Structure 1
């Protein structure tokens, strides 16, 4: 009787293990490319991966740290990741082959949904005499991490407003590095293009008095006229510690993108899972309140993937 029991347990365990292995082999493994750990892309993309794992059948999803927008669209183009987060200036110019993407157009790019707007933060310490864009000249300035949307946007915006990279000592740092090197006195100014409030600036403001460098109405008008994918926005007062007034700046929306060859059923299931569990994203970061079906269906800067479009038609957001 004892031997029979042992054999039954053995057989059950064997079958269970084989079943688990077979199930794991059936599960499609996909990757969401996010950004650096000091911004919002990383927690947003991580939560998106959790939603996919819990609500999309037969899919195993992981979120990966990357250099963000520019790197991400190139990863999608090479089919090294399934989904990626990117700023819409990068998305638009990659798709059309403009700017830094001249000669390397990514026509295979498609959007899945619109995430939220970024605010362009130009941050210094209160003790430094930096109050306007022209004061950046001669300073040590971090323009954003290599391959990031922040650096891409900085490369478009600052020269348009009369400040070139030749005017200051250029650093290319992640958001977390911006905060650390401002604390340590290595740089004078750090630039973030990110959803507010972001953890790295919050961390910096808890130990140091900081100042935000605003744009003028004239500067914002000039940027928006030159680049229609940018818009006027104000950083609301008290978004960060001791920030007692609104800060005028420019914004850009962000998309989740994929390759045109991505499975229509997979993209449909991901869009459906994200919007039906949007509260989970909002619990991760309140900026996800901007993640709506309406904006996603109607405000994409490039064509929407057929899988996502199928979902938007299903819920009546498009005809």
Structure 2
């Protein structure tokens, strides 16, 4: 009888151990970056520290590329990224030599709206006007997000750098940090800004020298979205900027929270719930954070969703 009880007790113990949820990690690092990312990363670390007793979370410097690579290597468990960059990283394309197969989506947060603008000093009122005479057109530095977003939209509008040159213009690959100054100084006629709506730099330019926002056709938007998974349709409402008397159709990327697939389903489920609980606090962090909502938690996401987040969204009916 004793010989029968011991194996049975051992089997029961093993079953209970297998059924027990994985222990929470002791430490979590949240990859931030520049712009709004450090603010958001610090808030996520604060939420984890408040809602997960025994877990110590801290935000660290980063950026989309570095955050994705850190999750792949195990240096970070959670981070912020831009949707388009996450797609490139997970699939090992563009500047990612190997697929980052440990990265999973947790939550779409807020969008970066692409403002395609022309100086009010020019005669440009549409993309078609760019090649009607010699204009100085920002195309961004090769290898940057801004270069891709600008040249893909120009391409979708049927405009190449050679077309700009043939018209007597200059496709200018200056740094994004120089765009505002060069528009103000009259050194650029066409450029692109990325940020929330309203965006401080766009508001500054709307005051002086004045800008016109360029409408993207639906056909052009569809081409950009197809070329760049993670990019979605967006509208800048009329009246957002001085002199803007119509809605502007454009595209946007999504800033989203990503995590390692090695974090347990239970942990990420509770992390997702904690993020939703604290959404009211997040919406006042910076311009654009008001977009953080449960209903858009999967918006414009181009990569696999972490099972823990998926379980939460399935329960809430979020699609």
One fold, TM greater than 0.5?
Answer: yes
Give the CA RMSD over aligned residues: 3.5
Counterpart position of 2:124? 130
Contact 1:197/1:240 (<8 A) preserved: yes
Q: In 2 relative to 1, CA 164–51 (structure 1 residues): closer, same or farther, beyond 3 Å? A: farther
What residue ranges of structure 2 are gaps of 5+ in the alignment? 1-24, 165-170
Counterpart position of 2:105? 111
Q: CA deviation at 1:275?
A: 0.8
Q: Distance in 2 between matches of 1:102 and 1:61?
A: 26
Q: CA deviation at 1:280?
A: 1.2
Q: Write the mapping of 1:106-255 to structure 2, written as runs, cut at 5 A.
A: 106-136=100-130, 139-143=135-139, 149-165=145-161, 167=164, 168-174=171-177, 177-224=178-225, 229-255=230-256
SS, match of residue 101 in structure 2: coil
Deviations 1:278-317 (A, max 9, x none): 011112246444433343358642211233234435x533
SS, match of residue 171 in structure 1: coil
Q: Among residues 53, 61, 84, which one is paired with 2:58 in the alignment?
A: 61
Q: In 2 relative to 1, CA 225–307 (structure 1 residues): closer, same or farther, beyond 3 Å? A: closer
Q: In 2 relative to 1, CA 160–216 (structure 1 residues): closer, same or farther, beyond 3 Å? A: closer
What residue ranges of structure 1 are gaps of 5+ in the alignment? 1-25
Task: After superposing the two structures, state which structure 1 stretch, 257-266 or 86-95, moved more.
Answer: 257-266
Alignment of 1:92 onto 2:87? yes
Q: Write the mapping of 1:23-38 to structure 2, written as runs, cut at 5 A.
A: 28=27, 30-35=29-34, 37=35
Q: Distance in 1 between matches of 2:96 and 2:176?
A: 25
Q: CA deviation at 1:101?
A: 5.1
Alignment of 1:316 onto 2:316? yes
Contact 2:31/2:67 (<8 A) preserved: no
SS, match of residue 201 in structure 1: helix
Deviations 1:37-83 (A, max 9, x none): 3xx445444443443444443323225363xx445434433444433
Contact 1:144/1:192 (<8 A) preserved: no
SS, match of residue 283 in structure 2: helix
The number of equivalent residue pairs is 285
Contact 1:183/1:204 (<8 A) preserved: yes
* Bigger helix fraction: 1
Q: In 2 relative to 1, CA 80–121 (structure 1 residues): closer, same or farther, beyond 3 Å? A: farther
Q: Distance in 2 between matches of 1:63 and 1:162?
A: 42
Contact 1:90/1:152 (<8 A) preserved: no
